[in-house]
Structure 1
Amino acid sequence: MQHTVVERELELQLILSADHSFPVPARLGYRSDDPYAVHIAFHVTSEQPVNWTFSRDLLVEGVFRPCGQGDVKVWPTKVDGRGVVLMALSSPDGEALLQAPAAQLAAWLERTLRAVPPGSEAELLGMDGALDQLLAR
């Protein structure tokens, strides 16, 4: 079976304070063989990128309204009249607040939704067939 990959390079802003931020190149990735997840590789000053995996549904919802709990919170807002999406990430290694341009993030998410429409993820993973086999025993 052919898998679809939807990627995009995007410059995010790491927010350090109300007055200070700096650009962080990122690669957004989505694969139809992992249909519930989106992956973001942040290219910070370390040799290896910092990788985070999010629920695709969380990121889609976060474009429109505040959502998330725990390690990842996502919400839309405006900065200087431009629509942006903020992502608050926390891990044992620290916390980060990242800002993404809403239109570019939404356009990439739309491509993932065309590749794998919402509600069709389980079919791609063959979960229905596996569940039927399990329950038949």
Structure 2
Amino acid sequence: MSVVEQYARAHIVTDEDPRADPASVPVVLRYDPETDPRSVRVGLPGPLPGPHDWTLPRTLLEQGLRAPVESGDVRVWPCGRVQAVVEFHSAGGVSVVQFETKALLRFLRRTYMAAAPVAR
């Protein structure tokens, strides 16, 4: 089993002028089946409220691509046909991140391949 790390482009949703085109930012998606086979990590960039690395259940991310779900301080929901939103709550505020669904699906596929037992 090996670590899966994937970089994805995402948009940080803010309360700035809605006409402004939010720039995409690099986000690191990481899965380590040896350390925590049920969780994935999301590494957010820059000066955002709250922690920059979040750990969430892998199933939460997967289920949130089809319907709104939440667990603790994290919410995930589909946004139209091609995007998904992940919302992180902390004492410092809320970070709302919008991903392309295909990037998250690609990452999830890779995590399940990495966690699959090797046939001998």
If the length of structure 2 is used for normalisation, what is the TM-score?
A: 0.82
4+ residue runs over 3 A deviation: none
Shift of 1:45: 4.1
Matches within 5 A, 1:7-26: 7-17=5-15, 19=18, 20=20, 21-26=22-27
Cα deviations across residues 37-59 of structure 1 (Å, max 9, x unaligned)?
Answer: 1011112148xx81111110100
Q: How far apart, in 2, do the equivalents of 1:24 and 1:50 lie?
A: 13
1:115 paired residue number: 114
SS where residue 64 of structure 1 aligns?
Answer: coil
CA RMSD of aligned residues (A): 2.1
1:125 paired residue number: none
Shift of 1:22: 3.5
Q: How far apart, in 1, do the equivalents of 2:83 and 2:93 lie?
A: 23
Q: Work out which of the two has the higher radius of gyration on C-alpha atoms and give 1 or 2.
A: 1
1:32 paired residue number: 33
Matches within 5 A, 1:1-137: 3-17=1-15, 19=18, 20=20, 21-33=22-34, 34-45=36-47, 50-78=52-80, 83-117=82-116
Quick one: percent identity of the two aligned structures?
30
Shift of 1:28: 0.5
Larger % of helix: which?
1
Shift of 1:11: 1.2
1:134 paired residue number: none
2:31 alignment partner AA: Y
Aligned residues: 111
Structure possessing the higher relative contact order (Cα contacts under 8 Å, 6 or more residues apart): 2
Stretches of structure 1 lacking an aligned partner (at least 5 in a row): 121-137
